[in-house]
Structure 1
Amino acid sequence: MPDVNILGLNTGDHDPSACIVVDGQVVAMVEEERLTRQKHAVGALPVRSAQFCLEASGLSPDDLDCVAVPWVDNARYLRLHPGGNPRVTFQFHPDTPLNDCPRVRSVLRALRVRRIPQVACVSHHLAHASAAFRMSGFDEASILIADGWGDRVSTTLACGRGREISLVDQLSLPRSLGYFYSALTETLGLGPFAEGKTMGLAAYGAASDHLVDEVLKHCTSEDGARLAGLEADYWDPTRSTPEDVFRYWMGSIAGFVDSDRGLINDVAEVPGLKRGSNLAAAGQRALEAAMTTLVTRLVAATGHGQLCLGGGVALNCSANGSIARMAQIEDLFVQPAAGDAGNSLGAALEAAHAFGEPSPGTLTSTSLGPAFTNELIRTELDLAELSYTETDDPGATAAGLLADGLTVGWMQGRAEFGPRALGHRSILASSARPEMKNVLNDVKRRERWRPLAPAIRDEDAAAALRSQRLAPFMIVADRFRRELAPSVPAALHVDGSIRPQTVSRELQADYHRAIEEHSRITSSLAILNTSFNDEKEPMVTSPRDSVATFRRTDLDCLVIGNFVCRK
């Protein structure tokens, strides 16, 4: 039987991406922003990412059998299902007319496709569920998807058994945890796409229950929202928009602030942190209360303590940590590209399932993007007129630089997908030096109060982490064991929490070597890892990107392939 070649595309209005699945296996995936250098690539089509995926898989555009997208056209959806009933949207729609997918048509035109492939529309939350469950390695699992919205659905409870995913329950707009948290972030003045800042800020505040009842009532059940009179107040399922939900939460949060000005507090001892940490802490507590409530309900319905998380809310590491500690949870898999950028993967996997293709297996690495040979790297360094030395042991070389208190831009192998740098496009520093947290945030031109992530070896996880769990994707909050914390001062957030990454020698030999050698020199088991970019740009992809960021920032060193540059 010939291979089935499926191109997954996220064609939404932010974070477009592309993914290629061949014979059921994920071959390549990249976000459009990494290639266009426009953060979040708002409004762009995933053309360059699709071109990369085709080239990486050795395919021409006319080799495609199917293009899968994680959206069902809204107009068609409303015509078929008056009133916006969300339960019928958890579906796979094969053979969608191309004219119903104008953004897909535009991508295919840009790719100069002559033989039009089958077009499949996968409902948004089914794509999220597929991306989470089908690469979790679980035979059976509970699945929770939570985001702002997609195809008018904001929360999905589902069950995976074998190759099948079945629906347990769904909540539609206006019941949206994603919009609640985005409105909280906007209220705090942190800007768009800055929910991660809100999570970090929360640790500085005194958590209260101010918002818990409101969020539980509005975002965890259909009955609660009806009792609150939301539909009568502002929501008409045939005419209202997501912006109406956002405005509701902005007003609601403002009302809580007006009733208790203590939510807008000053934290003068933290440079750059002026106000709002109590409000952030209250919002974070409410989000975690809602997520754990949903998980409790879901596990009771499915009987499965293995849990998969997806959707943009699943990027909240602190909430994921609270879920991981629940007594009902036996094991947890969080899709590392849980947001919409990862849904090109979910759409492609669901299409592959419909074609009867083999399971993709357990996700062990996110390094599915572009890679560059040492010859290409040398050429780029020469063109940039950068002086360099060569090394046959990049990991040990980087470890020595880190131990000397230097910051290192680190580019090795294929670029990773998802918002977390996982040792392929990273900035590294020593966690043994307490000042390195401020130094690294200054390099990235970020607020100094923002936390950084420690990377440790897989084999140290059981002894070092309270959870004793491997954490390859840096997406579940944890803590170091008490006796180890003093050796990693720069890795600890203000509340003692961490967002660890555990690193496999087999999968990332050079990165593992850097951690191991740094530990030998400093007696600190972790190195600091953050994404290789400054505050205003996406993570670097190419040698040219890396050189530009190295020059523009106050980075001390660049270890790129087998080459080392120093300022």
Structure 2
Amino acid sequence: MGYVLGLGGPYHHDAAACLVGDGRVLAFAEEERFSRIKHHRDSRSAAQSAAWCLRQSGIGWADIDDVAVAWNPYWPNYCDRIGDAELIAELLGPDARAAGAPRRLTVIGHHLAHAASAFYPAGVTEAAVLVVDGSGDGVSTSIHHGSPVGLRTVRELPYTQSLGWMYQNATTHVGLGDWTNAGKLMGLAAYGQPRIELPFLHLTDDGYHLDLTRYGLPPFLGADATSRYTDFSYYRDLKLAYAKAFTDAGVPAQPPGGHHPDRMAVDLATSVQAALQQAMLALATNALTLTGTATLCVAGGVALNCTSNGILARTPAIADLFVQPAASDAGCALGAALECARRRGDFTVPGPRQAHTLLGPEYSHAAIETALAAAGARYSTPDDIAAAAAHRIAAGQVVGWFQGRAEAGPRALGARSILADPRSTTLRDHVNRDVKRREMWRPLAPSMLDLTSWTTTPHGPAEAMIVAHHATDTAHEQIPGVVHVDGTLRPQRVDPQIQPTYARLLREIQAETGHAVVLNTSFNGPGEPIVATPADALASGARLGLDALAIGDYLVDLTASNTTR
């Protein structure tokens, strides 16, 4: 078997590793789940996730044919291989070389890796591929044509045209934090009116054009553009320019925290979200025109914007939409591995369509029992863990759910989740305020067996909570805890063949409540990654004040004052 290891996110954040064997994705994990540092910031190392991928498949470094890195460390100079031993040790760990790791790594361009992560798992023969992010290897937006011969780049926009940076600077300006909190702006946008003018953004027939000249940031050309990108001076000046642009538009900068943004800040969020949606729709239309296809694949950090994806999904010209669930830089590990495998002849188009993200670590009964004993946890072993958890959820409890292999990407999809009854907005507010300890205006999402009663587009993409659907009147009335103020929900359609225990939980909830729907949010607290191990789940569940934890076949009572079994 030919093995390729892909590394994503080596820009000092979102490092990840993905192992592909004979063209099949075998394992995928993000470094943050091991390091316990959100987004694995300020490090390029993917050593722990890479080592886990190898252990998961029972192989060693000597079995790896190629390591593909989604980053050109020598940009703007061309580079197809990394041979720097010090850099390789930083990426793979200091012991990897001695253990037989390749001495030269293959470079896959950052946007090409994003594009590969969207096209190759889509299961289609041909597609337009749209990548929109902050920036990588000097590019912020790109369009590609995917076909049986691979990916061909047909259009690129430089880092000076970054929609991702526009969005994250708006997030900071309204007090919601840095780029890691862009999802907050998306949630807040539903509460305002798009009445703030954004004169720096010009929508065009083929997309958009950003011009911040009037705010002190002229366009940069030639060598100056390269140096100012690589030394981050452009990015520093960009932040100042956006701060001035938003202030000049009548929106003073908000203090950090963002729990109570004023009306102007809310309207800025709405205006920036609306502008992003228009630009994405124009880009998508241009991508279809340039490639002559009606199938669209999307990746890049901006592809995590569920609301924008919902607009694309409801666009008649787009016959088939696939959004990579791990759309951020971590997902580049998947794309780099698959692109390298295709070049080696191990992967052919079309491959199978990605049906789930359950590609991370799982734990045996013995490992769970060891963690339970170490924590002194009070637990039982019910005959049916799904039925036991469903009974507690139907009774209004908030339950941690830790089952099977972990999800890849930022959405918890029934493997490392916090679950509650979606019928109550009071319970939704409790989860936001008291459990997740986050802003009250942020939406929570549902997992469900069938979308027919709940969305107006029941056959639309809904595997990964990454596409917003319009809620039906029935959803508004019966599961209001998972319907956002803008009348949308971002569902996960659960496949019983892939997640039998989770599907059984939903059926048991239906038996008790009449609805096979559960409120599902990620199993983590503020500023921490999604839980990875049984020990993480026990500690986080107690810290967040969950009522119970269903971990494997064990039901842990977290409300009991007696912590012994």
TM (normalized to structure 2)?
0.91
Name 2:316's counterpart in structure 1: 327
Name 1:340's counterpart in structure 2: 329
In 2, distance between residues paired with 1:396 and 1:61?
43
1:504 aligns with 2:485: no
Q: Is the 8 A contact 2:196 2:267 kept in 1?
A: no
1:308 aligns with 2:297: yes
Tell me: CA distance 1:325–1:218, structure 2 relative to 1, closer, same or farther (3 Å): closer
Name 2:191's counterpart in structure 1: 204
How far residue 391 of structure 1 moved from its aligned partner, in angstroms, is 2.1
Cα deviations by residue, 1:416-456 (Å, 9 ceiling, x for unpaired) = 11000000000000001221111111201111211100111
Tell me: CA distance 1:421–1:238, structure 2 relative to 1, closer, same or farther (3 Å): same
1:72 aligns with 2:77: no
In 1, distance between residues paired with 2:206 and 2:41?
27
| Identical positions, percent | 38
SS at match of 2:525: coil
Tell me: CA distance 1:514–1:246, structure 2 relative to 1, closer, same or farther (3 Å): farther
How far residue 226 of structure 1 moved from its aligned partner, in angstroms, is 11
In 2, distance between residues paired with 1:231 and 1:189?
23
Q: Is the 8 A contact 2:188 2:266 kept in 1?
A: yes
Name 1:237's counterpart in structure 2: 225
Of 139, 143, 165 in structure 1, the residue corresponding to residue 129 of structure 2 is: 143
Moved more, 295-304 or 139-148: 295-304
In 2, distance between residues paired with 1:186 and 1:265?
8
Name 2:457's counterpart in structure 1: 467
Give the number of aligned pairs.
543
1:176 aligns with 2:170: no
Name 2:110's counterpart in structure 1: 124
Tell me: CA distance 1:439–1:221, structure 2 relative to 1, closer, same or farther (3 Å): closer
Q: Which amino acid aligns with 2:245?
A: G
Q: Which amino acid aligns with 1:443?
A: V
How far residue 146 of structure 1 moved from its aligned partner, in angstroms, is 0.5
Name 1:415's counterpart in structure 2: 406
How far residue 380 of structure 1 moved from its aligned partner, in angstroms, is 1.1
SS at match of 1:158: strand
Q: Which amino acid aligns with 1:214?
A: L
SS at match of 1:128: helix
1:519 aligns with 2:519: no
In 2, distance between residues paired with 1:208 and 1:453?
28
1:59 aligns with 2:46: no
In 1, distance between residues paired with 2:418 and 2:212?
48
How far residue 358 of structure 1 moved from its aligned partner, in angstroms, is 2.8
Name 2:84's counterpart in structure 1: 99
Q: Is the 8 A contact 2:208 2:279 kept in 1?
A: no
SS at match of 2:507: helix
Name 2:25's counterpart in structure 1: 26
Tell me: CA distance 1:381–1:534, structure 2 relative to 1, closer, same or farther (3 Å): same
In 1, distance between residues paired with 2:67 and 2:529?
26
Moved more, 30-39 or 107-116: 107-116
Name 1:562's counterpart in structure 2: 553
How far residue 466 of structure 1 moved from its aligned partner, in angstroms, is 1.1
In 2, distance between residues paired with 1:281 and 1:14?
28
Q: Is the 8 A contact 1:437 1:448 kept in 2?
A: no
Name 1:85's counterpart in structure 2: none
Name 1:185's counterpart in structure 2: 171
Tell me: CA distance 1:486–1:212, structure 2 relative to 1, closer, same or farther (3 Å): farther
Cα deviations by residue, 1:190-233 (Å, 9 ceiling, x for unpaired) = 112100001001111112361276253799457x7599999845
SS at match of 1:474: coil
Cα deviations by residue, 1:91-146 (Å, 9 ceiling, x for unpaired) = xx65x141187145652533354434241000000000101000011111110000
Tell me: CA distance 1:394–1:406, structure 2 relative to 1, closer, same or farther (3 Å): same
In 1, distance between residues paired with 2:236 and 2:187?
22
TM (normalized to structure 1)?
0.90
In 1, distance between residues paired with 2:522 and 2:548?
15
SS at match of 1:239: helix
1:110 aligns with 2:95: yes
In 2, distance between residues paired with 1:182 and 1:325?
25
In 2, distance between residues paired with 1:65 and 1:33?
26
In 1, distance between residues paired with 2:234 and 2:93?
34
Q: Which amino acid aligns with 2:192?
A: G
In 2, distance between residues paired with 1:138 and 1:229?
44
Name 1:447's counterpart in structure 2: 439
How far residue 326 of structure 1 moved from its aligned partner, in angstroms, is 1.3
- Flag structure 1 segments of 5+ consecutive residues without an equivalent: 81-92
SS at match of 1:126: helix
Q: Which amino acid aligns with 2:420?
A: A
Name 2:203's counterpart in structure 1: 216
Tell me: CA distance 1:503–1:163, structure 2 relative to 1, closer, same or farther (3 Å): farther
In 2, distance between residues paired with 1:226 and 1:162?
40
Q: Is the 8 A contact 1:187 1:250 kept in 2?
A: no
Name 1:296's counterpart in structure 2: 285
How far residue 264 of structure 1 moved from its aligned partner, in angstroms, is 8.1
Tell me: CA distance 1:106–1:205, structure 2 relative to 1, closer, same or farther (3 Å): closer
Q: Is the 8 A contact 1:142 1:298 kept in 2?
A: yes
In 2, distance between residues paired with 1:494 and 1:214?
27
